[in-house]
Amino acid sequence: MTGQSGITIRGEATMKVKKQHTILKSLLVGTVVIGLLAGCGSKSSTDSTNPEATKAAEGKKSNVTLTIAASQNWIRQADKDIAADFTQETGIKVDFQVNPDDQYKDVIKSKLATKEATDIIYFQGGVSAYELLPADNLLDLTNEAWVARETEWAKGGTTLDGKVIGLNRWGTDGWGIMYNPELFTKLNLKVPTTYEEFLAVCEAIKAAGIIPIFENAKDTWHLPLWLNNIAYQVSAKDSSLYGKLADGTTKFADIPQAEMAVAQLKELADKGYLGKDFMSNDWNGAIPALGEGKYAMILTYTSWSSEVKAKYPDSNADKWEMFPAPLAGVKSWATSAGGVIQVINKNSKNVEEAKQYFNYIAKADVLLKFYGAHEMLKTNEIPFKDAKNPVKNLVFDTVVANSPDGYGLDFEGGVKFFIKENYGQSFQDLLLNGKSPKQVIDFIDNDRAKLIKAATGK
């Protein structure tokens, strides 16, 4: 299907991806091709520190098509528009290949293993990027000119083993409980600071005929975020915790708050605070659920309210606020290592064109255009020193204000071998009475032990 400005949308055939114990069958991969007619590339270079090669490649029209892999909810119209501008300027076309959120990591790791990966890959920043085996697969970008313009937190979230391996256009964010303060005022409710107060708020909302919390338990990636939420609270008391979790000398079973958080999530479900349909809810249903007022709260990221506002202008979502989920005594907010980053496949035939694309999207004027149009990121702090976002993030300010114990790095961004997608089914089993909270924690520890042993031999 071809639309305006040469944007073509097509679908690829289904593919099979093999996991450790599961075969993912009939995975539909949606593809968005930006440009005119898809060409094929013939250039090949893997020298990321050759400025003459990059300079020669830039400014020239090309018959190359860059392929970019992303999870389905990470590519928005703003990404397509910027890519179309890049194509107009350089002649290099861009092909976005999107995959279902809960299967994306498996798709990428499988394609890297078979040397079939795309030229550019979207992935979580921080230590999560170790899953891509950076020494084997990711281009060293340390000497690229745009790196010097990045903020320190942005560089920190894209640096592994002393090398910059990615470009960050997202921003520091985290998951907290978003709510409508108008509803709280109407029901005479205050922001809860303890789990007991949170239960009382949920009960009052339920009594008013509104489902307290939207939970998309069908998606295996979301449920473990309730555990991830305790990360900074426990790590702030022990600065060596993340290192001990990474090498396996400490387990999640050794952290009392871990099992407590899982048990309290189960209690929220048992009390009906997640509604009746939480096991069939998926992320796509979140915006209408809160935009139409059927649900009162959701565990989400700070800029999500912008997406609701775009779809439901009368929702007043631009005035929504946030507090940290107060499970297991949490009074702090766990944040990402800079959200989603982009990396370059060092084995690509189009490395120079990929670097040219990074140079383009990192330009200050392009960043401002991108943030101005991106409904998911338009309130985020821009990770470049020379591009300041003019839109203030009210939700970010409120969650920080509601976190008396501060905020800092979560498990996903700070602990090696913490792969939340691996744990989703065990959380689903928990909510369906198939596992106890302790069994969920034991499952996580056993999964991590296997990964640690495979990586270190210990």
pLDDT averaged per 10 residues, the chain (length 458): 34 37 36 38 42 50 89 92 96 95 92 97 93 96 96 88 94 92 97 98 98 96 97 93 95 98 98 97 97 97 91 95 97 89 97 98 93 75 83 87 94 93 97 98 98 89
Q: Distance between CA 382 and CA 302 in Å, rounded?
A: 14
Scored b (16 or more CB within 10 A) or e, 355-365 reads: bbbbbbbbbee
Give the model's pLDDT for residue 50.
Answer: 53
Q: Distance between CA 232 and CA 248 in Å, rounded?
A: 19
What are 376's two structure tokens?
A: 């998911």
Give the model's pLDDT for residue 30.
Answer: 40
Give the model's pLDDT for residue 59.
Answer: 52
In whole angstroms, how large is the CA radius of gyration of the chain? 22
Q: What are phi and psi of 270, to 5 degrees?
A: -65, -30
Give the model's pLDDT for residue 62.
Answer: 66
Three-state SS letters, 195-259:
HHHHHHHHHHHHHCCCEEEECCCCCCCCCCHHHHCCHHHHHCCCCCHHHHHHHCCCCHHHCHHHH
Give the model's pLDDT for residue 22.
Answer: 38
Starting at the edge strand that comes first in sequence, how are the strands of the sheet with 211-214 ordered?
211-214, 295-301, 175-179, 321-323
Q: Distance between CA 379 and CA 278 in Å, rounded?
A: 29
4-172+338-373 and 175-335+400-456: same fold? yes
Crossing angle of helices 424-431 and 437-456, rounded to 10°? 170
The residue behind tokens 């991806």 is 17
Domain locations in the chain as residue ranges:
4-172+338-373, 175-335+400-456
CATH superfamily of 175-335+400-456: Periplasmic binding protein-like II (3.40.190.10)
Query: What pairing do the DSSP bridges indicate for beta strands 211-214 and 295-301?
Result: parallel
Region 4-172+338-373: CATH code: 3.40.190.10
User: In which element (H, E) is residue 23 found?
Assistant: strand 23-27
What are 183's two structure tokens?
A: 């509803």
Query: What pairing do the DSSP bridges indicate for beta strands 211-214 and 163-164?
Result: unpaired
**What residue type is 75 in one-letter code?**
I
**What residue type is 133 in one-letter code?**
L
Give the model's pLDDT for residue 380.
Answer: 66
Q: Distance between CA 244 and CA 123 in Å, rounded?
A: 24
Q: Distance between CA 95 and CA 38 in Å, rounded?
A: 8
Give the model's pLDDT for residue 375.
Answer: 72
Give the model's pLDDT for residue 102.
Answer: 82
Give the model's pLDDT for residue 211.
Answer: 98
Length of the chain, in residues:
458
Cα three-residue angle 56-62-65, rounded to 5 degrees: 120
